């Protein structure tokens, strides 16, 4: 924290949101990466300090943080950047050669694999069958329940 900052919560908040603090955009970008890819560029996203792990791709983390700041700290632009990347669009199929080189996918040798939530499975099934209603709102639906 700067020496002239007040030593209270306001001073801490001003320092965290300051352009001179490089840590906040790096942590923010890492959290977004973790949400999309399943694990962060820094595996210990809750600890960026000396006790945490080092980034697997430090240049990528710094570049994403710089892009995040350049775009005005807009999450939509950050998510678009990550979602249209070659890393995100690559196949999630795990070949024996890829598993041997990168068993935990820390080097991003293949695309992310994650479980779908129940609502997503339902919507995908209805969409594939052509039965998904795109109308927003309306009464709740209560399926038949056994007696």
Domain ranges of the chain: 9-129
Best CA proximity match to 13, nearest among 22, 24, 3: 24
Q: What are phi and psi of 93, to 5 degrees?
A: -65, 130
pLDDT (tens digit, 9 = 90+) per residue, 28-87? 999 999 999 888 999 888 888 788 889 989 999 999 999 999 999 899 999 999 999 998
pLDDT classification of 137: cutoffs 50, 70, 90: confident
The number of C-alpha atoms within 13 Å of 108 and in the hemisphere containing its C-beta is 20
pTM for the whole thing?
0.71
Contact present, 73 and 64 (Cβ < 8 Å): no
- Angle among Cα 60, 116, 126 to the nearest 5 degrees reads 130
């Amino acid at each position: 924290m700067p020496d002239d900052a007040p030593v209270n919560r306001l001073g801490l908040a001003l320092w965290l949101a300051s352009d001179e603090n490089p840590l906040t955009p790096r942590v923010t970008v890492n959290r977004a990466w973790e949400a999309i890819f399943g694990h962060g560029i820094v595996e210990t996203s809750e600890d960026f300090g000396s006790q945490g792990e080092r980034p697997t791709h430090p240049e990528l983390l710094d570049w994403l943080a710089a892009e995040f700041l350049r775009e005005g700290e807009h999450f939509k632009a950050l998510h678009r950047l990550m979602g249209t990347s070659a890393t995100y669009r690559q196949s999630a199929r795990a070949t024996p050669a890829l598993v041997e080189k990168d068993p935990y996918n820390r080097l991003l040798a293949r695309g992310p694999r994650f479980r779908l939530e129940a609502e997503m499975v339902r919507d995908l099934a209805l969409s594939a069958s052509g039965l998904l209603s795109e109308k927003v709102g309306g009464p709740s639906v209560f399926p038949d329940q056994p007696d």
